[in-house]
């Protein structure tokens, strides 16, 4: 059935005043598109179509509204799940990762308590890791794009599919199809396959094919495309500022290819696109530009119309400020569905958001047609996975299936990929190889962001680095920051004292080489991520690069040369896993060659980073 945003002019999106004034009913209604349950990506047979339609007919209004929500499960208790399922009738869920056995039992109980089977999502962007604590970290997206062998992405998808299916998941919020155009953008820097649409399409298809070997649907993200703005939509609305024609050649090409390849769902980002919105609404003022999750011209005219996408559209997480800065929550919740999203990712306050969505339907912001089209797509995705044919006790594999999680075979895949993707960005001073024979005494530095809400030690990865260096035969002298020394009871710690102790003329007499391992993170906490030194004039800043051979190794972000251009040897290891660290140390010694590749973003548009 066709849908529209609103039935009457006074029911246009109740957001910013200027937007509400300019978006009259004819503008916000958008073109109308039918849901075709028999067409791709659902391709349902008659029995499945009958199940979809009869299930909708059997639902109460509260159950229909509940199907629009994907809950974020913050609690593993049965009482918690009972409350979510009985009070809010959610159509899907995601959960906080934990031990695989606990995750599987959690999912099993949830499926046993709901009349309509749940879509159970995870974030397997790096393999099985991220879906459970003991899952296999295979590679990042950037890592899978940093070697000529395209099948690395397929193998990452294969492991992701096998491990998440064993847990009971059936929906992957992956692959990511953003294009890393702006080196300052650090939210997608390691989460994009690369900086060209060609590499993104090639590797995204491989990942999709790999994970599709398991009974898993994919949600590619983040439409209309991240990687142009430098900011993180978790903390601020960001924008894709490409014009319509350029977007069509780049991001549009990616989405067309993936839609034609069979992707089942697309996650809309809280990302505005002024050039795209004005292509469909030429008179739109700056104040009227809204994130894609609220923009019918992007979701309906572009994604449904021009790109011909028949599958399910879901929002990105709705606590993100990229969405919430656009208006009041009571208006935003139904506006996302009215604009063309089919599912709403995460409650902020379950009772409030459920009421806001119900009120939006009652007042006509969400029309009957729009609600039912969303429901058809939600249920069609479930039916396409065969969930409607399986009894509740068969929706989750038996406990024995967990044997694949973090298995020796999967860790061997991870080790092989780590070895093949460690990348030598530059060695202009010819510092390599560095071996225990030539440079036995190593001064080891670590660079990390501050501790996050988990309160885990952000420099704990250095224990692994030190262990691997010592196993290789090096004598390791670990630098401790002023904060670490103060925490250990030393008095009078300040940056001047640390620097005066560290930066002495006999430094080359004490150490043969310096190794700096950076594992800088800040995902969803900062608008952009750069190195933050432990103190002003911190002694770990590579002043010593002029004194001894110095090697800088990044275990995460690829853009650090802008902050350490003085280092003449730089390596991107992609990950802080033991496998990646071990492979990097082998290559520093010259025991194996560097196979990884890199794109120009690593030089951060500055001449001195190449020296």
Residues classed as catalytic? 316
Tell me whether residue 491 is exposed, middle or buried, using C-beta atoms within 10 angstroms of its C-beta: 0 to 12, 13 to 18, 19 or more. Answer: exposed
Tell me the HSE value of 238 on the side-chain side, using a 13 A CA sphere: 28
Q: How far apart are CA 67 and CA 319, in angstroms?
A: 19
> Token digits for 328?
């009041």
Euclidean distance between CA atoms 157 and 216, whole angstroms: 10
All residues at 6 or more sequence positions from 203 whose CB lies less than 8 Å from its CB, including other chains: 141, 144, 145, 150, 152, 153, 175, 193, 194
Which sign does the torsion angle of CA 140, 465, 436, 551 carry?
Answer: positive
Q: Positive or negative CA dihedral for 37, 42, 45, 50?
A: negative
**Secondary element (H or E) of residue 373:** helix 368-384
Query: Token digits for 388?
Result: 């409607």
Q: Is 589 exposed, middle or buried (0-12, 13-18, 19+ CB in 10 A)?
A: buried
Distance from C-alpha of 471 to C-alpha of 454, rounded to nearest angstrom: 30
Do 105 and 92 meet the contact criterion of CB atoms below 8 Å apart?
no
Question: How far is 582 from 24, CA to CA, in rounded Å?
Answer: 60
Question: What is the Cα–Cα distance from 159 to 156, expressed in whole angstroms?
Answer: 5
Give the C-alpha separation, 291 to 348, whole Å: 18
Q: CA angle, 586 as apex, 581 and 587 as ends, to 5°? A: 100
How far apart CA 446 and CA 84 sit, in angstroms, is 43
Q: Please check whether residue 285 is in contact with residue 207, taking contact to mean a CB–CB distance below 8 angstroms.
A: no
CB 402 within 8 A of CB 101: yes
How is 184-242 classified by DSSP, letter by letter?
T--SSTTTSS-SSHHHHHHHHHHHHHHHTTSS-EEEEEEET--SSSSS-TTTS-EE---
């Amino acid at each position: 059935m066709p849908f529209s945003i609103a039935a009457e002019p006074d029911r246009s999106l109740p957001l910013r005043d200027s937007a509400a004034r300019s978006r009259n009913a004819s503008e916000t209604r958008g073109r109308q598109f039918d849901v075709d349950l028999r067409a791709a990506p659902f391709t349902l047979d008659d029995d499945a179509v009958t199940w979809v339609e009869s299930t909708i007919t059997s639902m109460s209004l509260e159950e229909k509204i509940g199907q629009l929500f994907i809950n974020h499960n913050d609690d593993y208790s049965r009482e918690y799940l009972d409350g979510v399922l009985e009070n809010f009738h959610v159509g899907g869920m995601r959960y906080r990762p934990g031990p695989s056995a606990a995750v599987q039992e959690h999912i099993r109980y949830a499926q046993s308590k709901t009349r309509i089977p749940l879509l159970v999502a995870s974030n397997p962007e790096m393999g099985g890791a991220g879906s459970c604590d003991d899952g296999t970290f295979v590679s990042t997206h950037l890592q899978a794009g940093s070697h000529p062998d395209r099948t690395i992405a397929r193998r990452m998808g294969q492991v992701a599919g096998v491990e998440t299916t064993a847990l009971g998941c059936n929906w992957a919020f992956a692959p990511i199809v953003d294009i890393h155009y702006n080196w300052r953008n650090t939210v997608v820097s390691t989460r994009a396959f690369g900086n060209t649409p060609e590499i993104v399409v090639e590797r995204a298809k491989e990942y999709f094919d790999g994970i599709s070997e398991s009974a898993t649907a994919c949600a590619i993200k983040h439409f209309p495309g991240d990687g142009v703005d430098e900011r993180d939509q978790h903390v601020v609305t960001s924008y894709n500022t490409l014009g319509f024609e350029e977007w069509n050649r780049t991001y549009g090409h990616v989405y067309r290819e993936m839609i034609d390849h069979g992707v089942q769902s697309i996650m809309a980002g809280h990302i505005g696109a002024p050039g795209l919105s004005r292509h469909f609404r030429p008179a739109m003022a700056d104040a009227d530009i809204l994130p894609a999750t609220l923009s019918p011209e992007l979701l309906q005219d572009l994604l449904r119309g021009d790109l011909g996408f028949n599958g399910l559209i879901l929002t990105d997480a709705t606590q993100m400020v990229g969405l919430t800065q656009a208006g009041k929550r009571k208006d935003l919740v139904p506006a996302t569905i009215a604009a063309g999203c089919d599912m709403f990712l995460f409650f902020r306050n379950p009772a409030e958001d459920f009421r806001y969505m119900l009120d939006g339907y009652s007042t006509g912001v969400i029309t009957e047609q729009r609600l039912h089209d969303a429901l058809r797509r939600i249920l069609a995705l479930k039916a396409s996975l065969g969930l409607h044919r399986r009894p509740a006790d068969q929706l989750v594999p038996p406990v024995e299936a967990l044997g694949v999680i973090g298995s020796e075979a999967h860790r061997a895949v991870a080790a092989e990929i780590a070895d093949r993707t460690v990348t030598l960005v530059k060695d202009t001073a010819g510092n390599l190889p560095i071996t225990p024979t030539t440079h036995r005494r190593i001064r080891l530095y670590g660079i990390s962001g501050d501790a996050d809400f988990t309160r885990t030690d952000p420099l704990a990865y250095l224990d692994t680095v030190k262990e691997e260096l010592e196993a290789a035969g090096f004598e390791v002298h670990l630098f401790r920051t002023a904060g670490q020394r103060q925490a250990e009871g030393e008095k009078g710690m300040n940056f001047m004292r640390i620097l005066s102790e560290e930066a002495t003329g006999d430094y080359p007499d004490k150490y043969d080489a310096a190794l700096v391992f950076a594992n800088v993170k800040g995902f969803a906490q900062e608008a952009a991520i750069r190195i933050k030194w432990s103190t002003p004039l911190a002694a770990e800043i590579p002043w010593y690069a002029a004194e001894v051979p110095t090697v800088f190794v990044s275990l995460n972000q690829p853009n650090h040369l802008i902050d350490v251009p003085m280092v003449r040897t730089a390596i991107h290891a992609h990950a802080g896993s033991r496998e990646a660290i071990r492979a990097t140390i082998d290559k520093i010694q010259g025991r194996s060659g560097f196979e990884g590749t890199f794109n120009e973003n690593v030089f951060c548009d500055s001449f001195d980073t190449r020296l």
